[in-house]
Chains A and B, each alone.
Chain A
């Protein structure tokens, strides 16, 4: 090969690198190559030091949800033709990926009750910021109101971006009340507001009245951005789009993707069709080929960075394609009735959990209504309780003190979550461990 190239050595091909910067030996202090079995052994040692959710009583949610994923999902996403393909830039040989994206967009739009949806964002939190940025473009306003029930990581992401983009965010204070903060959201609206951002159900598991908020927002010329962190709940609850939300974003991880310690996840983004040219991210559209056969292509790319550069609607390029495939397969296996059944099963387990926990002296349930997730008030600071539960092999929820370190009034509360995977034994184990921690073994 060097003869064809006409170079004396491989290092000669690095001639443009400044002499002082080209390394002549492997970087000191780094290990040399290793065999497959050695690497596997090393990585398994790391893996063994983590407490696996599926092996213990598990009640964590707060933006990442553990639902049952049918075995065929992971099998199918490992088809090499899906796993090792690139973004479908050559549509003639990428119809598999493109048709999946078209089906995915349709599924998301139907689930959200929006006209259209895009081909995915990185995750729910970044999709939420993109929605705020889009609402500012659409309304030509620069102020957003964020419900106190919005996941604090989502609010934090939005705050970071707004600070640099020069937009004004009004983040409402989180309050431990049985109902969502609809009234405060509506009261914060003004004539400069581009959008209000409301999580549905919220991070405390409460369910806002989206229709009322949408009506108030629209009356002030603002958009309603609804945020769904577990789309499984839309098997039970009315679709946000049907209640008047203009943009609906969400985290799709709970369908098909799994927990994975927080990523990669799947940003969902749906909206009213009239906003299509202001949307971020890739869009797949239907067309025909030279023989008149139906086919699919990436379309409306004049919004995107590779064409529009600094005037693009987003800088996103790589998205969450394989996670979108997993989501779409899982949702196809469920169908609408299956999704509703899954949501009812999760909800039924949440009711059983609420009943068991409320029976413990000093413990009460905050929410007046909830789906699969709700807030529990404890007689003392919750972070220590959660750590004590973990020491007993129970993953017993997310302490609000971890999510809202600046809000001392929330620190004795914990948000707990169930799914169709939760068993009566799991619930009994949490109730028993919590009773012991709060009241001693004799209680």
Chain B
């Protein structure tokens, strides 16, 4: 195993990166177009929107609340706006342009049928507080998607409202906390700890802290998996009584299946703790393995990963949480219940006392990410049970193909022991000459690819985590592999031009230290 990156260290711009000299008078270069900020383009007098009717002065009763002048916000005409945002869009890399192999992020193709479905007025233009009798189709979509998620995971129920993966983690841990409190009385002080492997996503310990728990780290073993002996030892004896939950990612962030998962769950349950699974990597096992069969009590599912709702430059996501029978009674409000006659009822504060008295409460306004539900359900129906299993198989096949095609030029710390799941992990050990993961990543940008996840997981030095997903063809993978191979060979040959890459992107390496030292978070005229 390679040396861990204990400090979470990640380099940014290297001092002395040389400037490039070629310039034009406009600043644009052919189709490489620069774009000013809206605040530099426009004033607040322009308006690109029409209004009907006369402009009427406000009610005098409102006068003491009125603002003096209209807000200082620049306005653009429609052609100006279309041009501004279209020009900006061209400075982005995206799945629509090529592979986006960010490990742990599952950047797969976003089928456009799902966009069309989400925009049907019957889904896009309905109010969350409309009477239930007028939104039966929307409630049916939630119930139908819930049925699929429960069946695919082999669990007892699902909480649909969490808004993204980290919100789902919070939901799962709050269910666990409510379950412990129900047994022990309010407070549940005895169980104050959540055990989190050191390879976990940062959201896991952050979530545990927000749920009011202390966090204790569980080491990784030399094979990239949880140190089973250490974990089992922690779950034995008197000290185990302070453990509320084990929070584990499976497949884990090294791209490996936790093959002792059943034993881990059994030990946790024997100690009176619950098992939370971070489902970020569900794409590797969807349709092939049901987490419920592994003894898991709660797991969030990122609809924006496994079920292909678009990431949109950072969100929105959706993080439904599947729950074991022990945790279902504590699930948050609201949720949809299907009546015997097929009518859909919304269980919310108004009727929860009768139908769901042990809920831990509400964790957001309204009913969850409906716009993601419609897309995810369309994706699931398109693939079906057979197609979803093939998703996992192809994702795992592609990742292993990347792993075996590159392990001769990039150190693959856990490859010798066997196959990976849906992501291939490399490190920058052995590149030599002061070359690092950062140089490989920036070199990939020049090659026309989005880099892989870098410097995560922390248990590997200079981690490079490649998740090709199932939607890359073999030809596409071969092009990516050829580029990554050439970069590894250039580093090994001491090609210093890599250290100042990218050379051909809209921007070269950006000074993140300057940004953090003197934060400029809004535009000011100066």
Tell me whether A and B are bound partners.
Answer: yes
Cβ–Cβ < 8 Å partners of A47 in chain B: 117, 120-123, 137
Shortest Cβ gap from A110 to chain B (Å) = 5
- The stretch of B203-211, B231-239, B269-277, B482-490 in contact with A is B203-211
Shortest Cβ gap from B266 to chain A (Å) = 12
Q: Do A79 and B73 touch (CB < 8 A)?
A: no
Q: Do B361 and A97 touch (CB < 8 A)?
A: no
Q: Is A145 an interface residue (CB 8 A)?
A: no
Cβ–Cβ < 8 Å partners of A187 in chain B: none
Cβ–Cβ < 8 Å partners of B205 in chain A: 305, 309-310
Shortest Cβ gap from B184 to chain A (Å) = 15
Cβ–Cβ < 8 Å partners of A216 in chain B: none
Q: Is A26 an interface residue (CB 8 A)?
A: yes
> Known contacts A27-B290, A314-B210, A335-B73: does B313 contact A153 (CB below 8 Å)?
no
Q: Do A43 and B120 touch (CB < 8 A)?
A: yes
Q: Do B75 and A72 touch (CB < 8 A)?
A: no
List residues of A (261-310) whose CB comes within 8 Å of B's CBs: 261-265, 276, 282-293, 295-297, 299-300, 302, 304-310
Shortest Cβ gap from B68 to chain A (Å) = 8
Q: Is B26 an interface residue (CB 8 A)?
A: no
Cβ–Cβ < 8 Å partners of A319 in chain B: 164, 314-316
Q: Do B522 and A82 touch (CB < 8 A)?
A: no
In the complex the two chains form, what is the Cα distance from A117 to B73 in whole Å? Answer: 15
In the complex the two chains form, what is the Cα distance from A44 to B261 in whole Å? Answer: 41
Cβ–Cβ < 8 Å partners of B49 in chain A: 68, 70, 333-334, 338, 342
> Known contacts A26-B385, A260-B371, A347-B62: does B52 contact A40 (CB below 8 Å)?
no
Cβ contact of B47, chosen from A323, A337, A348, cutoff 8 A: A337
* Interface residues in B, total, Cβ within 8 A: 201
Cβ–Cβ < 8 Å partners of A93 in chain B: 91-93, 445, 450, 502, 505-506
- Total inter-chain residue pairs, C-beta < 8 Å: 699
- The stretch of A57-65, A188-196, A430-438 in contact with B is A57-65
List residues of B (281-336) whose CB comes within 8 Å of A's CBs: 285, 287-290, 293-294, 302, 304, 310-318, 332-333
Shortest Cβ gap from B21 to chain A (Å) = 9
List residues of B (368-410) whose CB comes within 8 Å of A's CBs: 368-372, 374, 377-378, 381-387, 389, 393, 396-398, 400-401, 403-405
> Known contacts A110-B73, A290-B19: does B48 contact A84 (CB below 8 Å)?
no
- The digit string for A1-16, where 1 denotes a CB below 8 A from any CB of B, is 1101111001111111
In chain B, what residue has the closest Cβ to A65?
A: B127
In the complex the two chains form, what is the Cα distance from A153 to B236 in whole Å? Answer: 41
> Known contacts A93-B93, A290-B19, A322-B313: does B137 contact A17 (CB below 8 Å)?
no
Cβ–Cβ < 8 Å partners of A64 in chain B: 127-129, 366
Q: Is B97 an interface residue (CB 8 A)?
A: yes
Shortest Cβ gap from A253 to chain B (Å) = 10
Shortest Cβ gap from B175 to chain A (Å) = 11
In the complex the two chains form, what is the Cα distance from A83 to B259 in whole Å? Answer: 36
Shortest Cβ gap from B426 to chain A (Å) = 16
Cβ–Cβ < 8 Å partners of A88 in chain B: 313-314
Q: Is B241 an interface residue (CB 8 A)?
A: no
In the complex the two chains form, what is the Cα distance from A120 to B316 in whole Å? Answer: 10
Give me the 8 closest cross-chain CB pairs, A-B, nearest first: A335-B75, A322-B312, A47-B122, A262-B366, A321-B314, A80-B96, A262-B128, A49-B137
Known: A32-B387, A64-B366. 6 other contacts (CB 8 A): A70-B48, A122-B364, A207-B62, A289-B508, A290-B509, A369-B61
